[in-house]
Chain A
Amino acid sequence: MPKLYTFLKYFFVVLWACFVIAPFLWAISTSFKDFNSVTGGATYIPWLQFEPTLDGWSVLFKPGSQGGINIIGPYFNSIFVTLTASLISIVLGTLAAYALSRYTFKAGIVKNNDITFFFISQRIMPPVVLSIPFFIFLSSLGLLDSLAGLILVYIVLLMPIAVWIMVDFFNRVPREIDETALIDGCNPFQAFFKVVLPNSVPGMLVAGLFCIIFGWIDFFFAFILTFTKVQLLPVKIVALNSSITPWWSLSAAALVSVAPLIIVAFIVERYLSKGNLSGALK
């Protein structure tokens, strides 16, 4: 019985791994193909079944005048917008979450839990509902087609995630730790920065990971709120599509755009597995 169990366990793990890895392998393979290799039936192994070319990749870095799309500018725009918006969301979100977790707010029937829900409720709306208000809002601020405008909008989208995750995190950190810090001579700010914050790194990393993912993959707002001056990676990649679908360069673009997320996920995962808070309570 245990043998069968072990077998099944590994079987499903391997199956799932194939399921996850196969598209990547397929994309890598496709990114080195040319038109004929893509349309001429399924081929898998370079040199043996098809002649690899760098055409798919070179399009991404050639300027528009040479028929390319040059993603380097949009790539750094995307990194800058995502990181800045995530960072601001985490900082503000953590502060808000700490207040919501530790202090009691009351305005009529509105209490802490309701406020937390208001934050996350912004994510319930379909983005399209927000598109026109955001457009008008940014245009009246003169921030359409600018990095600052995008960062502003992304903070609105990402901060609820940070607040939601961090409220839950702080609720699990024993209040007695803050109290002990106060008793040991910290004022409330010192208690937060010297004791609570160092122990909140795992929560902030998870919240950060989610913010980066949601910020990085957004296409909708990047598409609506920018035109020519500023472009983000997803919008630029879509520009590849023309009368013929260029599967090779789309594959290359997909790999390039997913790479940062994979790196971030690996770093966060490593850090999280260390586990830092287990000794807080009995």
Chain B
Amino acid sequence: MSLLLDHISFKPTEEYHLNDISLRFDSGKMYTILGRTLSGKTTLLKTIAGLQTPDSGSINFEDTDFLSIPVWKRNVAMVYQQFINYPHLNVRDNIAFPLKQRKMDENLIEKEVKVAMEKVGLIGFESRKIQELSGGQQQRVALARSLAKKAKILLLDEPLVNLDYKLREGLREEFKKLFNVSDESNSILIYASTDPLEAMQLNGDIIVIDEGKILQTGTAKDVFENPATAKVAEITNDPAMNINKCLIQDNSLIMNDSVQIQIPDELKSVPNGKYLVGIRATDIFLDDQGFAFDVEISEISGSETFLHLRNKNLKCVATIEEVKTYNTNEVVKINFDKSKIYLFEESGELRHSPYQQ
């Protein structure tokens, strides 16, 4: 069974929130919608859930017209970025709510709630009030409620984004396990995220969305190795892939008058002209023989340091594999890993990927 979105558009104001979206979701599979904030992820999930009605297009699920079914009759579950629970109910009643709503047998509810609570590790918290739980626990309750429901479609809208780093890592691992288990139930799992790393880790099919438009769909490997456009390359990398204008002339790649590199062999067939060059932050390294750049900002993240660099009009971000403090305007010498250079047409389409055959 599959969920089919056909030319869905939603334009409440001047701007499109969803722009002509056609997608196919197969049951038993997991999908990650990757996009920046306000790219239309939540709107897309709400449209699938039925909380929002698109202006045009159709949604088909199990051979029925999904748009003609109101939210409360669609068998979907959704976990929000905010920790949304019913504050007047305790943990057990929160999880049992959708089952009671379905008028399920009391004994069966008791059993299902217990299973769901075990899955998310909330045993012992049955009669706690929601207000007495930490953020992570509150989100577990929301998750347990959506699991207990055994919905055909499970929508997760950045469920981990409001949690602290450690909890996020822990829950993400559990998510993967939970989803593998729920595979048996053949439900469709759609996970929205702004974090490329998260999307790659979850290892489902990735749907890249920006300004309400689908830019690319494919496996994590596909999207990482062959981003369809420069925009996709920016969205699917953190820090965003460095995209700069460049000129290819006589076997050299000119980014500005002082930063020019010899192009690698596989790029020699590219005709001269203007292009966009893409280099991942991790493919830039310190090199005493390299190009001089000024440090604009340096930020330490875990065991790495992000350097925001500038050479005249040329800006880029480099990831340095060590923790070191750089002063603003300090001059560093860097070089680019030539074997990892991407080339995009001026309009944005991918021209060359280092992973291309």
Contacts and interface: CB of A to CB of B under 8 A. Distances in A.
A254 B49 CA distance: 59
Contact of B129 (A180, A181, A185, A279): A279
Interface string B49-66: 111000000000000000
Interface in B14-73: 46, 49-51, 70-73
A103 to B, nearest CB: 13
Interface string B134-177: 01001000000100010000000000001000000000000000
Given A279-B130, A282-B82, A184 B87 contact: no
Given A186-B72, A187-B70, A279-B130, A180 B80 contact: yes
Contact of A183 (B78, B86, B138, B162): B78
A276 B70 contact: no
A183 B76 contact: yes
A198 interface: yes
B268 to A, nearest CB: 54
Given A179-B51, A279-B130, A279-B138, A184 B101 contact: yes
A174 B82 contact: yes
Contacts of B78: 179-180, 183
A4 B72 CA distance: 60
A84 interface: no
A276 B71 contact: no
A92 interface: no
B126 to A, nearest CB: 16
Nearest to B102: A185
A184 B97 contact: yes
Interface centre among B82, B149, B162 (most CB of A within 10 A): B82
B197 interface: no
Contacts of B344: none
A195 B145 CA distance: 15
B82 A176 contact: yes
Interface string B68-95: 0011110011101011111110000000
B82 A278 contact: no
Nearest to B51: A179
B218 interface: no
Interface string A159-190: 00000000000000010110111111111001
A279 B133 contact: yes
Interface in A230-282: 275-282
Contact of A185 (B49, B85, B87, B98): B98
Interface centre among B86, B131, B135 (most CB of A within 10 A): B86
A73 to B, nearest CB: 41
Interface residues of A, number: 24
Given A183-B71, A184-B97, A187-B70, A278 B77 contact: no
A182 B86 CA distance: 12
Contacts of A174: 82, 84
A199 B131 contact: no
B77 A183 contact: yes
B203 to A, nearest CB: 26
Contacts of B162: 282
Contacts of A190: 72, 101
B51 A186 contact: no
B105 to A, nearest CB: 16
Nearest to A278: B131
A280 B76 contact: no
A278 B72 contact: no
A201 to B, nearest CB: 8
Given A185-B98, A187-B70, A282-B162, A176 B84 contact: yes
A276 B88 contact: yes
Nearest to A200: B88
A26 to B, nearest CB: 43
Given A184-B145, A185-B98, A282 B72 contact: no
Interface centre among B83, B133, B145, B162 (most CB of A within 10 A): B83
B87 A277 contact: yes
Given A182-B51, A183-B77, A184-B101, A199 B88 contact: yes
Interface centre among A186, A279, A282 (most CB of B within 10 A): A279
Contact of A281 (B49, B77, B83, B149): B83
B87 A280 contact: yes
B88 A177 contact: no
B98 A199 contact: no
B88 A198 contact: yes
Contacts of B82: 174, 176, 281-282
A182 B72 contact: yes
Interface centre among A174, A187, A195, A281 (most CB of B within 10 A): A281
Given A184-B101, A186-B101, A187-B72, A282 B87 contact: no
Interface of A: 174, 176-177, 179-187, 190, 195, 198-199, 275-282
* Shortest beta-carbon contacts, A-B, top 6: A279-B131, A185-B101, A279-B130, A184-B98, A198-B88, A182-B71
25 contacts: A176-B80, A176-B82, A177-B87, A179-B49, A179-B71, A180-B80, A180-B85, A181-B86, A182-B51, A182-B72, A183-B72, A184-B149, A185-B72, A185-B73, A185-B102, A186-B101, A190-B72, A276-B87, A279-B129, A279-B130, A279-B132, A281-B83, A281-B84, A282-B83, A282-B138
Given A179-B51, A182-B50, A279-B132, 7 more contacts: A179-B49, A183-B77, A184-B145, A184-B149, A280-B84, A281-B82, A282-B82
